[in-house]
Structure 1
């Protein structure tokens, strides 16, 4: 009996050593990408220049690291899977998103949750796929995070994942910068990881600058002021550029209810499961900016579904993807593409606009 308890003690000690070793590894390998990082912009042959009073289109699509087909559910939303179900599905979903964006023929196309080397996406370089599919565009990529290996869930770990965001355009950019957003502190930072936005500059033929912000704000936060800090930083940056005479548009996944009460509009699912997406606080927005939530009153389409189970008409849906523009940008139309969440838990959105003289 004494020998038995000795063996049990040794095994318990080994378990403690392994757990402590893992936590040391997680903390030791965690890092944030430096702020104000200058990004590499791909070059391509174009003579196109931006002009005032000319209509352009900008789109945004969160591709969900290629995992979210319409019958997929994600463990962090209360669903089943922690990674894509196969490498083939990853490629199919990314190709599906590319085809949808191609059909829109945007002048500017923004993407979020783009994996370049992830356990969860079978190490498919999704940015490379986007570059091939949108070969007639110049592009820029910013790494959002390079996470330590997440052992949870134990039966199929989420793993180690390097992901980011990308912006494509059919006009050459002069500069692109990665800006680091405020994030959670303590252990919760390993769940939401790093966050950033891409700030990209384009020249207009009247001598002014057009600045595009590709945004992906935090979703899994424990502190209520994290989202507020992120919005304040973005709004301050945009407002400063407006005061210099620039045109600005921020687009992407804000992880906020841009319609303020999506449940009242779409009337789908259980409203309580959408508590993670609070109404965006427009009171924080300077007077130089305005929110453009893509919406068609005659045919309302949500931009995001709750991924706790395969998609159905009984699921909670809302609009978290959209745009914020300066008052010198003329908005023509903003809509959500009804892709029926076939290749992502987000439907793409687009904005038609022109730049005032």
Structure 2
């Protein structure tokens, strides 16, 4: 009888051990990474008082009028009958100029601008804001320390270049690392910023509903509002300014929940007899806006949500200027001669009925320094 040769399984076993060990190391690294993000997760409260900075001086804000009377008295006051101008602008973290495309919108790039381009964009943005010279400025996507904008402190640049305004800043995106795609987005510390030529008695960060669950939320935005209160001289009423940047990349439930909360907050303020202006990047189009000039060019491109303006009732007017697009797609670099380029109308204002609207203009900057155009609103307090 022939003997049966034994098969040498040692090489196979060794390979399996190596593969198993490598896989185990990967799992361990991933677990450590998620643990670090979990421990350092940005967890804002439902409501947080913000610092209001007056020309390099900061005042901690309480729930009542600031005790720093000098800061309040040094700025012009608001009275009934006054003309007030407000500008809202998503500045695209200084990195989404005409050259930029972005992977989340169908483009290829993660890092969209060099450090020099970011600084150039920020210079142009602050120059334009000074030229527009509004009483109140609402900014979105202002980076404080983010890899995508080369860790340039854009909040500091804005405060320095618009030093006649007081300012408040609230994070809506703060994480040690966004690990996707390749190369990864990296560290993000970004937020929204409100500037005012009028004295602000209180500024507050209000947390909005987050549509993302654990662990996805660790690397995602934590949307919010900045609610700023400006005393109206000679009355017990306030001009309430709401800066917002609502959800973009969700299934739609996040946008709906955030819009509902916004509507409730605005209604509460107008019920008190206050004067209310909310402005920013809604990532949605008002249902009363004519967008026939900006058709959806492809089903593969990002599609904004729709805000039914009836959600805000009869006490408010939802308004934008659709004669010029407020936003462009980032699926490719900007080309003004491309008649199939995708544009959007997603920025605007909501104004209470005790305020008369004089004018609104989307300022056509041809998307040279941001993927959004600024919008200027002029109103009168009745």
Same fold by TM-score greater than 0.5: yes
1:141 has 2:152 as partner: no
CA distance in 1, matches of 2:352, 2:171: 26
How many residue pairs align between the two structures? 349
1:350 matched to which residue of 2?
A: 376
2:248 equivalent in structure 1: 219
Q: Distance in 1 between matches of 2:16 and 2:43?
A: 45
1:30 corresponds to: 41
1:106 Cα shift?
0.3
1:20 to 27, 31, 41: 31
The aligned counterpart of 2:154 is 126
Q: Is the 8 A contact 1:54 1:355 kept in 2?
A: yes
Q: Secondary structure at the match of 2:119?
A: helix
Secondary structure at the counterpart of residue 37 of structure 1:
strand
| Equivalent-residue separation in structure 1 for 2:89 and 2:289 (angstroms) | 22
Aligned to 1:333: 359
Which residue, 44, 51, 54 being the options, matches 2:82? 54
Shift of residue 88 of structure 1?
1.4
Separation (CA, whole Å) in 1 of partners of 2:316 and 2:127: 32
Q: Hey, what's the Cα distance between the residues in 1 that align with 2:241 and 2:372?
A: 21
Distance 1:160 1:262, change over 3 A: farther
Distance (Å, rounded) in 2 between the aligned partners of 1:21 and 1:60 = 41
Match of 1:40 in 2: 51
Moved more, 73-82 or 318-327: 73-82
Over 3 Å counting, the alpha-carbon distance change for 1:268 and 1:6 in structure 2 is closer
Quote how far apart the aligned CAs of 1:200 are.
Answer: 0.4
Deviation per CA, 1:52-90: give whole Å up to 9, x if none. Answer: 222221001111111101110111112122234321111
1:242 counterpart SS class: helix
Match of 1:158 in 2: 185
- Residue 77, structure 1, aligned to residue 123, structure 2: no
RMSD: 1.9
Unaligned runs of 5+ residues in structure 2 are 1-10, 56-70
Between the aligned partners of 1:255 and 1:191, the Cα distance in structure 2 is 20
1:185-264 to structure 2, matched below 5 A, reads 185-186=212-213, 187-190=215-218, 192-207=220-235, 208-222=237-251, 224-258=252-286, 263-264=291-292
CA drift of 1:245 comes to 0.9
Say if 1:219 and 1:262 are closer, same or farther in 2 by CA, change over 3 A. Answer: farther
Long gaps (5+) in structure 1: none
Is it true that 1:89 corresponds to 2:117 in the alignment? yes
TM-score (norm 1): 0.92
What do the CA deviations read for 1:110-155 (whole angstroms, capped 9, x no partner)? Answer: 111111111111111000000011011111111213123112122x
| Whole-Å separation in 2 of the counterparts to 1:129 and 1:334 | 27
Superposed displacement of residue 91, structure 1: 1.2
Matched, 1:286 2:313: yes
Alignment partner, residue 327 of structure 2? 304
